[in-house]
Amino acid sequence: MQFFFEVLIGGLLSGVLYALVALGFVLIYKASGVFNFAQGAMVFFAALTFVGFQEVLPGWLGVEPGGAAVFWLALILACLAMVVLSIATERIVLRPLVNQPQITLFMATIGLAFFIEGLAQGIWGANVRGLELGIQDEPIAWMAERTGIFISSFDVFAAVVAGVLVAVLAVFFNRTRVGRALRAVADDHQAALSIGIPLQVIWRIVWAVAGFVALVAGLIWGARNGVQFALTFTALKALPVLILGGFESVPGAIVGGLIIGASEKLAEVYLGPMVGGGIDSWFPYFMALLFLLVRPEGLFGERHIDRV
């Protein structure tokens, strides 16, 4: 039983990461109806940019590598880079395509994904790098002693960061003028325009927020698995999360992420031996497929309110 809980909690905590990537998709989809295939590439770009700055900054500033100053400066610069990248994407790629069919926009974001991946590697090089956040990936001692369950302190850290991020976003969306305007645009962009909400400003903000979320996801994932191209594929795990949770729902992204994370680990441990292992690479998609047949709008997919 202890083992079961260990697997379950480990799965839930790694699901938090899927949820973070899915959150980036949801934000953009909700506000502009664009399915941003490039979200995974943005995560990769963010992690690589942070690591890249950590490498070059000590040389530029003439300080020792690994210091706190370098860490925070790299973080700020990576954050700025993400905001610039996101806003440029909105301005250069998506705005000219406004009013085009969905599929055109989708194709544009696929192209964008390859471009961003290439750009990141062009600037920083293609070799695999480690990312150090200064958090240990070791079992929490007192937890192991008291309950016999081994849980990584890094996973707990990741969950706390994700939790804080979601809470901040929730406050932003529900309590601020811009956040409300964002939800208004998501509901009815014509009406939003009619009361003087400038759509382009709102879209820019959404992309910037999605860029920031990608940075947080990239840092945590990079620290866990190293910064490498495979990050973009792992980010595609967000797809089953979205199918499960619904494309328009922030709570859906979170719950979906947790379900996918937990079920993937449990399946690997309990079903894996029967089919020869490697189950976690396809099991989430299989679940999503089953789910699609039963409830196509997702767990939390926003029901269309028909009275409007």
Partner 1 sequence: MSATATAATASAASPAYLALNNIEVIYDHVILVLKGVSLQVPKGHIVALLGANGAGKTTTLKTISNLLRAERGEVTKGSVEFEGRRIDQLTPNELVRRGVIQVMEGRHCFAHLTVEENLLTGAYTRTGSRAEIRDSLEKVYEFFPRLKQRRTSQAGYTSGGEQQMTAIGRALMARPSMILLDEPSMGLAPQIVEEIFEIVRNLNQREGVSILLAEQNTMVALRYADFGYILENGRVVMEGEARELASNEDVKEFYLGLAKEGRKSFRDVKHYRRRKRWLA
Query: In the structure encoding, which two tokens stand for residue 66, read together?
Result: 């690994």
Residue (179 or 226) nearer to partner 1, CB: 179
Extract long-range pairs of 285-288: CB within 8 Å, 24+ residues apart.
Answer: 285/239, 285/240, 287/240, 287/244, 287/260, 287/263, 288/239, 288/240, 288/243, 288/244
Footprint on residues 186-225 left by partner 1 (CB under 8 A): 186-188, 190-198
Please state the separation of Cα 145 from the chain's center in Å.
Answer: 33
**Could you give the string, one character per residue 266-305, with x where binding to partner 1 holds by CB under 8 A and - elsewhere?**
------------------------------------x--x
CB of 95: closest distance to partner 1 in angstroms? 13
CB of 302: closest distance to partner 1 in angstroms? 7
C-alpha distances (whole Å) from 42 to each of 27, 134, 205 are: 14, 23, 16
Residue (66 or 198) nearer to partner 1, CB: 198
Picking from 245, 266, 272, the residue whose alpha carbon sits closest to that of residue 257 is 245
Query: In the structure encoding, which two tokens stand for residue 250, read together?
Result: 């922030």
CB of 192: closest distance to partner 1 in angstroms? 7
Q: Does 26 bind partner 1 (CB under 8 A)?
A: no
Residue (202 or 279) nearer to partner 1, CB: 202
- Specify the 3-state DSSP secondary structure of 227: strand
Q: Does 129 bind partner 1 (CB under 8 A)?
A: no
CB of 196: closest distance to partner 1 in angstroms? 3
Residue (137 or 188) nearer to partner 1, CB: 188
CA distance 269 to 259: 15
CB of 246: closest distance to partner 1 in angstroms? 13
Picking from 21, 14, 102, 2, the residue whose alpha carbon sits closest to that of residue 280 is 14
**Could you give the string, one character per residue 74-113, with x where binding to partner 1 holds by CB under 8 A and - elsewhere?**
-------------------------x--------------
Q: Does 184 bind partner 1 (CB under 8 A)?
A: yes
Sites of contact with partner 1 (CB under 8 A): 99, 177, 180-181, 183-184, 186-188, 190-198, 302, 305, 307-308
